[in-house]
């Protein structure tokens, strides 16, 4: 059975308030523009999640809300996970292992450096020095269940980010 994992780094955040905690930082204007645009690109590619699992930080919540709106994802298909806030790759794997078997496509919205490190571990054919803000890494795998995630071959089929040049139509 084909399954799809989409990793998304949160959109660009604001540093306007130096007294604000990192967890509470919101998106800036560019982030509020980029997140819906990336959602539209995913919709155009017909990549729609069964579930979105997002860090509970403000900037990831806002990124997720923009993506969900662009993709028509309802709130009950979004899960907020505090443990995704600046997590290590092993935590991302734990989240994947716990996915219900009926989920075929999952989006995970999280932070650097963990999300880039995790993306780089997925396939020997893919490497990025840094996932830019609001970037997307898409992976296909064939498995009857998510708890075999670490054992199956994964194919990175998508790497996109806001400043990536797209052909005009």
Second CATH level (architecture) for the domain 2-46+53-138+156-160: 3-Layer(aba) Sandwich (3.40)
Q: For the chain, what are the domain ranges? A: 2-46+53-138+156-160
Q: What token pair was written down for 93?
A: 């794997």
pLDDT, tens digit (0-9, with 9 covering 90-100), for 20-60 = 999 999 999 999 999 999 999 999 999 999 999 999 999 99
What does 106-136 look like in DSSP terms, one character per residue?
Answer: EEEEE-TTHHHHHHHHS-TT---S-PPTT-E
pLDDT, tens digit (0-9, with 9 covering 90-100), for 109-165 = 999 999 999 999 999 999 999 999 999 999 999 999 999 999 999 999 999 999 987
Number of other residues whose CB lies within 10 A of the CB of residue 143: 16
Query: Which DSSP symbol is given to 12?
Result: P
């Amino acid at each position: 059975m084909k399954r799809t994992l989409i990793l998304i780094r949160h959109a660009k955040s604001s540093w306007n308030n130096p007294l604000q905690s990192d967890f509470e930082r919101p998106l800036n204007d560019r982030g509020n523009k980029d997140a819906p645009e990336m959602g539209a690109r995913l919709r155009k590619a017909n990549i729609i999640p069964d579930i979105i699992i997002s860090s509970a930080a403000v900037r990831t919540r806002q990124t997720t809300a923009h993506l969900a709106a662009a993709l028509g994802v309802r709130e009950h298909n979004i899960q907020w996970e505090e443990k995704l806030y600046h997590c290590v790759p092993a935590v991302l794997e734990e989240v994947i292992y716990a996915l219900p078997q009926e989920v075929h496509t999952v989006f995970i919205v999280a932070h650097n450096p963990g999300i880039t490190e995790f993306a780089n571990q997925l396939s020997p054919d893919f490497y990025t020095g840094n996932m830019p803000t609001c970037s997307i890494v898409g992976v296909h795998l064939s498995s009857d269940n998510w708890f075999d995630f670490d054992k199956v071959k994964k194919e990175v089929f998508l790497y996109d980010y806001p400043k990536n040049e797209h052909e005009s139509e």
